[in-house]
């Protein structure tokens, strides 16, 4: 993976910590597909999943738990580890928050 430039050191090392062998990794298509957003009624909680894009995946999403006011952003707005530093972009993060609220 490193030799063929398919992966960078950071990701390769994370994968080595997570998996005993790369043969265990299986990529599949999700069972629920959506375009820009998906809203799930979980009873007492409304869960909004919004596509916000990102530096390493155009389909990066954030998850907002409306009633709790909690936003899970994961690495949606982290920097581009493949071409630079992996720092959060506060401007993009604020734009995502405003898009949701």
Give pLDDT tens digits for 22-44.
Answer: 887 888 888 989 999 999 999 99
- What is the average per-residue pLDDT within 69-86? 71
Dist CA 58 CA 50 (whole Å) = 12
Query: What is the reported pLDDT for 27?
Result: 82
- What is the average per-residue pLDDT within 6-29? 82
Q: What Cα–Cα distance (Å) separates residue 48 from each residue in 12, 70, 77?
A: 31, 11, 17
Question: Is the pLDDT assigned to residue 81 strictly greater than 70?
Answer: no
Say if CB 48 and CB 66 are below 8 A apart: yes
Span 46-68, pLDDT tens digits: 999 988 877 667 778 889 998 99
Query: What is the reported pLDDT for 89?
Result: 67
Show the 3-state SS of the chain.
CCCCCCCCHHHHHHHHHHCCCHHHCCCCCCCCCCCCEEEEECCCCEEEEEECCCCCCCCCEEEEECCCCEEECCCCCCCCCCCCCCCCCHHHHHHHHHHHC
Look at 13 and 86; give whichever has higher pLDDT.
13
pTM equals 0.63
């Amino acid at each position: 993976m490193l030799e063929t430039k398919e992966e960078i050191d950071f990701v390769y090392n994370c994968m080595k910590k997570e998996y005993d062998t790369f043969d265990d990794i299986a990529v599949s298509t999700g069972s629920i597909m959506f375009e820009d957003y998906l809203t799930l009624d979980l009873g007492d909680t409304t869960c909004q999943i919004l596509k916000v894009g990102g530096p390493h995946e155009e389909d990066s999403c954030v998850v907002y738990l409306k009633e709790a006011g909690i936003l899970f952003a994961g690495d949606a707005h982290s920097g581009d580890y493949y071409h630079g530093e992996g720092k959060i972009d506060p401007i993009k993060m604020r734009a995502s928050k405003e898009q949701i609220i």
